[in-house]
Chains A and B, each alone.
Chain A
Amino acid sequence: MRRLRWLVPTIYIVFLLLPIYWLVNMSFKTTNEILGGFSAWPQNFTIASYVEILTNPVWYNGYISSITYVVLNTVISVAVSLPAAYAFSRYRFLGDKHLFFWLLTNRMAPPAVFALPFYQLYSAIGLFDTPFAVALAHCLFNIPLAVWILEGFMSGVPKEIDETAYVDGYSFPHFFVRIFMPLIASGIGVTAFFCFMFSWVEMLLAKSLTAVAAKPIAAVMTRTASTSGYELGLLAAAGVLTIIPGALVIYFVRNYIAKGFALGRV
């Protein structure tokens, strides 16, 4: 019994990797071969799909705009959440509990509810079809999450540290940047990871807030799939390329990832 325990995670990981393998497999086949019949690995190995994506501006611009709004959103979310999370973890103030709950409700609000009004709002202020629109719209659910995670990590730092720093004559901004932020560096990393993650995977808002110029890669995929017939090979290759940035960032935060999912409060 004990000795066979490793089988459980192994089987689970194989189950996780099967669809990914299938996607990679498809991406190295020609569309004709894919539609021709079932084969467990490519018979005529080709990288034509990848070449097409990396040389055609319609495709690679999709990647550039996706990365642009994701990075913008991560920077904005973390920057404004840091002081707010500090306030929630250190002070009591009028309406703090209600405010915290209200923030959380926005993480829980279904994006479908907001798709149409967002389109009107961002058209009205002239940001429609720019990366800024998507970056700001994703703040709706990323800021509450960032505040939640950071607050968890900050509450783990004893308050005596703040008090000692003030006694030593540090001003608040100086203390915050020089002493406090290094103490919760892993928390900031994890928070940035989560903002990156949720902005990267969200598609409903990203798609409805962009038309041509700032179209995210995943929207390029759906549209290409429907307009130019059913180019499964291209679709699969584009899919594989969207997995890579995620895999890279996971690797960097692998030691903190579990704690991060528990919102810093295990």
Chain B
Amino acid sequence: MTRTWNNRAWFMVFPVLALVAFNAIIPLMTVVNYSVQETFGNNLFFFEGVKWYEEVLASSRFHAALWRQFLFTGTILLIEIPLGVAIALAMPRSGPWVSVCLVLMALPLLIPWNVVGAMWNIMALPDIGLLGHTLRQLGIDYNFTRQPGDAWFTIVLMDVWHWTSLVVLLAYAGLRSIPDAYYQAARIDGASHWSVFRYIQLPKMRRVLTIAVLLRFMDSFMIYTEPFVLTGGGPGNATTFLSIDLVKAALGEFNLGIAAAMSIIYFLMTLLVCWIFYTLMMRGQDQ
């Protein structure tokens, strides 16, 4: 659509700008302030320059949390995106079952995040939970509060349970926008299932899949509540992701300088990735 040049449109944007700026800029400036100052209590602050940043960037604790974060985000993207696409492809295209499927699949998305954590905690309790009990019956020595591997398995399973539906819904919306004529043409040409998928369905899903990857990347990168309730970051530090580590440093240990510097680095990283995806998406839209 061609849009007309009109600077008075700023008046329409202003309420949004004011509300978001109030919530974003003031807190962000607070964090920036903390990140360059040292305090000894009593509200006395001293300018410290980039000391906290150097400390954070050099600390092995931050590196470990960052590595765990990327490992987690990578794992769930590799599972959720293909799985979501596969389920969307197998969904009925029309009929009464579509609504039933959509409503049931959207259910996990509407559950408060700490309830999701609590739910999986109950589910995974070694002796009395459904998952824990079943695995033990199968002869697997499963205990997510003691063994890091089991904790990881439970958290990844929980995230797949929680968010795969988002990918399914997006991919399904993309598939439904493909006109029937495309499939008829493919049938006349004698195209195989694979070529229909590769040359018709996948390109048509490109935009929604970009949105899916973007949302899943961002939300898993800032994950806090679910693993916190499920494992509390443990056993040891095995599931301490960036947000958990950050809250630990800020509220648990009250290391304001370190926590603030970490926040800024963390924020800049999400900003960079967000920008890359945004550019990709906008380019897709212009075509």
Chain A residues near B (Cβ < 8 Å): 5-9, 12-13, 15-20, 22-23, 26, 34-35, 37-38, 40, 76, 80-81, 83-84, 86-94, 96, 99, 101, 103-118, 120-121, 136-137, 139-140, 143-144, 147, 155, 159, 197, 200-204, 217-219, 221-222, 225, 232, 235-236, 239, 242-243, 245-247, 249-251, 254-255, 257-259, 261-263, 265-266
Contact = CB atoms under 8 A, between A and B. Distances in A.
A237 B90 CA distance: 34
A99 B17 contact: yes
A22 B263 CA distance: 37
5 contacts: A38-B127, A93-B7, A96-B9, A115-B250, A147-B16
Contacts of B259: 116
Given A93-B9, A243-B111, A254 B27 contact: no
B127 A258 contact: no
Nearest to A145: B215
Contacts of B267: 109-110, 113
Given A87-B9, A87-B13, A218 B112 contact: yes
Contact of A23 (B19, B119, B168, B266): B119
B113 A202 contact: yes
B12 A104 contact: no
Contacts of B114: 203, 218-219, 221-222
B87 A9 contact: yes
A257 to B, nearest CB: 6
Contacts of A242: 111-112, 115
Contacts of B169: 257-258, 261
A235 B244 CA distance: 23
Contact of B266 (A110, A249, A250): A110
B90 A37 contact: no
Contacts of B19: 76, 80, 136, 139, 143
Contacts of B120: 19
Contacts of B287: none
A201 B104 CA distance: 17
A250 B107 contact: yes
B128 interface: yes
B133 A38 contact: yes
A246 B104 CA distance: 11
Nearest to A120: B30
Contacts of B218: 107-108
Contact of B4 (A91, A121, A262, A265): A91
B10 A117 contact: no
B174 A104 contact: no
A197 B2 CA distance: 33
A112 B65 CA distance: 14
Interface string B244-287: 10110011000010010001001100110011001000000100
Contacts of B87: 8-9, 12
